[in-house]
Structure formats: C-alpha cells, structure tokens
Amino acid sequence: MSTAEVAANLVRALEPRDYRVLHALERALDYFEQVKADYIEKVTGLHEDEVAYRLGRLRGMGLIAKGESGYYLVSSGLDAIALNALVQAGYISSFGGNVGIGKEADVFDVLDDRGKMYVLKFYRIGRTSFRNVRRKRKIMSAEESNVWLKACINAAKREAWALSKVYSVGGLVPKIFARERHAILMEKIEGVMLNRVRFLEDPLNGLKEIFRTLKKAYVKAGIVNGDLSEYNIMYDGKSYYVIDWPQAVEVGSPNSQYLITRDINNILKFFGKRFKVQYSFEKALKYITLPYTRF
C-alpha cells in the first residue's frame, strides 16, 4: 500500500488537533530537521499532555517519525495534509484506484461529491535513491525526509506553473484544478500512453499535433518540457496530450536549448521507429521555436 493510500484511509479519522500538530511539523520543514514537543506546544497552543497524546497517536499511524532530538513529518503525513485540504475545499469526496506508480509520482483517480472524476498526482521526486536508503535502514533520517518532502513540493509547484501556462495558451495538456503541497488535482484524460499505441491512421498528423503543443509552450508560454518522450504523452484516439511537466524550464535558461533539442529528438526517434515517419530535426526545431513557421 502506498503512503497516499495509507493517508486516504486515515484522513477522515484524524481530528482537528491531529492536523494542528501535523501543520506545526510541516511549518518546521524549512527551519528544523527535528522539533521538540515544546515547539509544537508553542505553535499549536495545545497543552503539553495533549501534544504528547497527539504525537504518540500520529506516530502510531505512521504519519510522523521520532528521531534522536525530536519529531519530524514523513511522506504519509504530508499526504494526509494535502488530502485533507482538498477534501475541505470540496474537490474530493472519495479516493479511487491507483492509476500508476512511476519513478517520481503516484497517480490516483478521485471523485468529487457530484461523481466527477479527476486525477490526483503525488510527487515522489528521487524515489529510487531514497528507496535505496530505506533498504539499508528502516526509516529515513529527519534530514533526508525533509529534503525529500521539500523537493516533492517544489516539483508540484513547477508542474502546476507549467501546466497552467501551457493550458492558457491552448496547448493540449491536462487542466489544473488545484495544488496542495506536493499534490496536483487535474483533469482526467481518457486514453492510453503513446508508448502502448501500435498503429495510427495518420502518424504524421500525430507528430504535428504533439509539436504544435511544444510550439505553443515555447513561443507563447516561454516553456520547454525538458523530459518529453512517448511515456508522457496520452492519446485518446483523436488528440495527443503532453501530461508531465515537472522538469519544465523557461526558454532562455542555461540548458533550455539542450532540453528542447532532446525533447524533439526523443519524439522523432519514436515516430521513426514505431510508425516509420521521417521528419527533419532542423525543420522540427524551426517550427517549434519560431513564431510564424509552418509544419
């Protein structure tokens, strides 16, 4: 069971004072590796006996951990904070099935109280390296946990920023509805990943549509995806959506030219190998990066 599923099972059982303690530990992420109970008493205004009870309860649920000099938030605790915020805002009434667990994100279907389905994406940046840490030790250190949680929050901020900008200029990307900490709530695209598609009636048009989104991102939004491949393009039988943007950079940043070159080459290579489409890299680069060029 993922930490998000653990949090989903607990989020409605947690009490307001539990969340006050979780928020105090979240607030400490930028300042302390671990915090003592008296810090939490000061921040929450709770009596020391109440704080001790809440810390023991949250630790027993696996939402926080205790180190040598205090307490700290872990992934499932941040998941619970994000989920509760989305529930309180009216975005989520039920937690659905797991859509996928990747190297850097866990993705789930969720429903609001009207039955509308969304996708909820929790960021797990650097999951592989931290998993290696946990093979050697039962639990991450406070420093490792804090670094990881902050990296995940920053990745969610970056992707929400990129998706919102590209969507606003007409790029085919999922619509963002909300971001809470390291989680993004977005439109659910019904389709399959491009890497699983074996036949296209008009693959050249598919290539054109993908590059059109890259062009709008580059020319109108000033953004380069930075990690584009057939594994983050969704095809719904008609249109092609670029669904992942956590590595996005601004046009003109030091490595933006390298990244747009790599993005283009990745897609040209895939379409050439899978669908036998041959298209010039130079023409593709010119089309994507210059305002008034045609495909």
The per-residue pLDDT for range 168-193, each reduced to its tens digit, is: 999 999 999 999 999 999 999 999 99
Q: Report yes or no: 156 and 181 within 8 Å, Cβ to Cβ.
A: yes
Q: Which CATH architecture has domain 192-289?
A: Orthogonal Bundle (1.10)
pTM of the model: 0.90
- Length of the chain in terms of residues written: 295
Q: Report yes or no: 271 and 279 within 8 Å, Cβ to Cβ.
A: yes
Amino acid type, 65: A
How far are the Cα atoms of 43, 45, 163, 252, 261 from residue 17, in angstroms, in the given order?
A: 12, 10, 35, 47, 51
- In angstroms, the CA 29 to CA 20 distance is 15
Q: Which CATH architecture has domain 3-186?
A: 2-Layer Sandwich (3.30)
Q: Where are the domains of the chain?
A: 3-186, 192-289
- In angstroms, the CA 265 to CA 285 distance is 10
Look at residues 118, 235, 224, 120 and name the one whose alpha carbon lies nearest to residue 166. 224
Taking only the tens place, the pLDDT of each residue in 91-142 is 999 998 788 777 789 999 999 999 999 999 999 987 554 444 444 434 567 8
Q: Which residues contact 188 (CB under 8 A, 6 or more apart)?
A: 109, 117, 118, 119, 174
Q: Report yes or no: 83 and 98 within 8 Å, Cβ to Cβ.
A: no
